[in-house]
Each structure stands twice: as C-alpha cells, then as structure tokens.
Amino acid sequence: MALVKGEGAFVWDAEGNKYLDFVAGLAVNSLGHCHPKVVEAIREQAETLMHVSNLYWIEPQVKLARLLVENSALDKVFFCNSGAEANEGAIKLARKYAKKYLGPDKYEIITMEKSFHGRTLAAITATAQPKYQKDLDPLPPGFKYVPLNDFAALEKAISPNTCAVMMEPVQGEGGVNVADYDYMQQVKQLCLEKNLLLIFDEVQCGLGRTGKLFAYEHYNVEPNIMTLAKAIAGGFPMGALLATDKVAECFQPGDHASTFGGNPLAAAAGCAAVSILADKDFLVEVAEKGAYFEQKLHRLKDKYSFITDVRGKGLILGLGITVDGKSIVDGCLQKGLIINCVGSNVLRFIPPLIITKQNIDDAVNIIDEVMSGLSFNEVEL
C-alpha cells in the first residue's frame, strides 16, 4: 500500500482508498496529517530561511527551546533529528556527567526489558530486546537490563559502575506497558540515594500522548534528562534532548553537535506543533478522548475471550490478545482502518490526538466486525 495524501485523521492510498489512521505515522502525526498551522509555519519559514549552521543563533530554535523549558521541569534543550539521536545524546551526556561528578568508573546505564530506544548502535544496545540486536555484535558495553515494574531487580542490578537509569514511562514498541506509580516513586528515590541520573525516554509517550504534555507528570517524578521526537514538529523530522542545568553544563561547545538539528525549518514546525500540544484545554480533551476510547476497548474485552487486557494511558492504548494480531490488523485495513500490532500479541492504538469520539466509535466498530469474523482456528492460536 502506498499512501499518497493525508488530512486530519485520514489518509488515502494511490488507488484512492480512504483510511482512518490509528497509527499516525507511529505517533508522529499527533496533530493529524497536514495540520494547517504546521503547514503554514513550514511554508513561511521555507520562504525566509531554511537552514543555517548552529554556529549562529537561530530565532525559531530559541523560541522552541523556551516553549519546552517553560512547560517542563528541565532547563536546557539540544535539538537533533530523531529519537535515536536524542537517546544517543542522553547516553553521552549521562556518561559525561558521571565522569565529572561521580568518578572515572561510572558509565553503566540500566534500562528496562521490552524497551525501545532507537536503532543506532548505542540506542539499540540500550533497547533490551534481543531481536533488534541480532547479528550486531559486538555491542557497546555498559548496559544492564531489568524487567519494568520490578524494583527488587533494579536494586540488585546496581553496581559500582552504574551512573543512570533509563526508561520509558509508557513503553510503546515493547507492547504499551505502563510503569506503575509506586514503582516510579521507588525508582526516583533510589536514584537520589545512589546519586544516579534518571533518564526518561518520552519519544513516543511524550508531547500530549498520555493526556499530559509529558508522561512523567502522571507520576510527580521529574527526570534529570528527557528525550523527545516523533510529534515534536508535527510530522517534520526532529528530536530533542532536555536536561537540568547541572547536567546540561557537562556538554561544552564541541562535545556534541548536529548539522541539521534545530535548523530554522524544523524549529518553525516545532514551534507551531508544540504551541498546540502544550495547550491545557487541548490536553484535557486528549485525556477525555483517551478515557472514552479505553472504555470502548474494555467493552470489546468483555465480549471476546481472546482479549486478555486493556493497557495504556491517554491515547497510547493496547489490547493484549491470545491470537495472532496480523489477521486483525489486515482485516481492519480491508475495512478502512489502520492499526498495528507489536510483539504479535498486542494491538497498539496511537491515533492523532485530534480524533473525534465519532472517529473512535468508527474504529471500534471496525475492530468489532473483524474480531467477530475470526474463525475458530484463529481464535485458538
């Protein structure tokens, strides 16, 4: 299928077929496709100045940094082009900080099983999923993995070399797994006691996806470092690494850089997108629509025995299933709904945040139709 046009929550393929998009470019198109304010910002900036080097001040970059800092618990922003780059920067910054403040032997970072932090070499090593690391040996040293929400395992994993804990508050690629509130409190307290940095990867779950601008706000826990990407520029490629002042100062000029990161075009798109995503009324609506969608999914769970659970927060939701998800994904596509499946047994829903309750009703009705048509053999898989 070749998608050639998008508008709001819908896309069209090359044959003219229309689809309700509940994947949203893998949580990139949070404002829907071709949001007019993002389109206008890109058009205006493209006519003015598309790219200059970060050797100079870039006005929309400064504006976007201010937007992010004023709406978060972090103090400084480094811009790049993707989530993987943002996480590579976070790993480098954590080790720089550790060398400066904790000692020469502090370099190890603990991450969570079923995490996903990107496909560059250090980021894929931080990603605790062996299937993504196959045939990439030797992987960079300095990473340990523990199960999410297992505090005893995390405590046990800390060694004299540990400098940071890195995690997604809501795992996306790993199956829409949500960190427990109490667990997050324990993790933060442990990091304070052991003098470890806490890094939150909010590349997928950040920027309004959970009904709050940042997922960490659900936990009353503030990170030392946070990474963003996907929705940050409304569909234009961009990533961001945020840190507190004390941590950020460990990057001095020349320590880390990106040729295209935060260039005028990307930053203008980012300003337009984040201005909308940070709006409090907008976020209230996201939370309300997420609760409505979740309620609808629970009704499906009550109807079908092969649905094991409903998981997620806001508008990053998942259905655990005991059947092969591909048949459901394919069936929905044939009926005009785009969804996807992670790990073969979790249907993931990451629609544009601008969807309506009618869109949700339409999607759930299609999923219901497809599930009701599953054969006995498919249900027993």
Q: Read off the tokens for 287.
A: 């939370």
- Was 259 annotated as part of a binding site? yes
201 is known as an active-site residue: yes
- Pick the catalytic residue from 114, 230, 296, 313: 230
- Was 116 annotated as part of a binding site? yes
Give dist(CA 262, CA 240) in Å, integer. 8
Contact 4, 34 (CB under 8 A): no
- Was 204 annotated as part of a binding site? yes
- Was 83 annotated as part of a binding site? yes
- Was 6 annotated as part of a binding site? no
165: CB partners within 8 A, 6+ apart: 109, 110, 111, 154, 187, 190, 191, 196, 197, 198, 199
Bridge partner list, 17:
none
φ, ψ dihedrals at 49, nearest 5°? -165, 115
Q: Read off the tokens for 350.
A: 């990451």
- Was 45 annotated as part of a binding site? no
Q: Read off the tokens for 67.
A: 């937007």
Contact 68, 74 (CB under 8 A): yes
Give dist(CA 86, CA 250) in Å, integer. 16
- Was 175 annotated as part of a binding site? no
- Pick the catalytic residue from 22, 79, 116, 251: 116
Nearest Cα to 216, choosing from 250, 251, 242, 253? Answer: 242
Give dist(CA 331, CA 202) in Å, integer. 31
Bridge partner list, 310:
319
- Was 202 annotated as part of a binding site? yes
246 is known as an active-site residue: no
- Was 282 annotated as part of a binding site? no
106 is known as an active-site residue: no
Give dist(CA 4, CA 46) in Å, integer. 22
Nearest Cα to 230, choosing from 277, 294, 293? Answer: 277
Q: CB-based burial of residue 242 (10 Å sphere; 0-12 exposed, 13-18 middle, 19+ buried)?
A: buried
Give dist(CA 161, CA 102) in Å, integer. 10
- Pick the catalytic residue from 22, 106, 201, 296: 201
Give dist(CA 121, CA 123) in Å, integer. 5
- Was 13 annotated as part of a binding site? no
Q: Which residues are annotated as a binding site for N(2)-acetyl-L-ornithine?
A: 119, 258
Which residues are part of a known binding site for pyridoxal 5'-phosphate? Answer: 83-84, 116, 201-204, 259
Active site residues: 116, 201, 230
Residues within the annotated binding site? 83-84, 116, 119, 201-204, 258-259
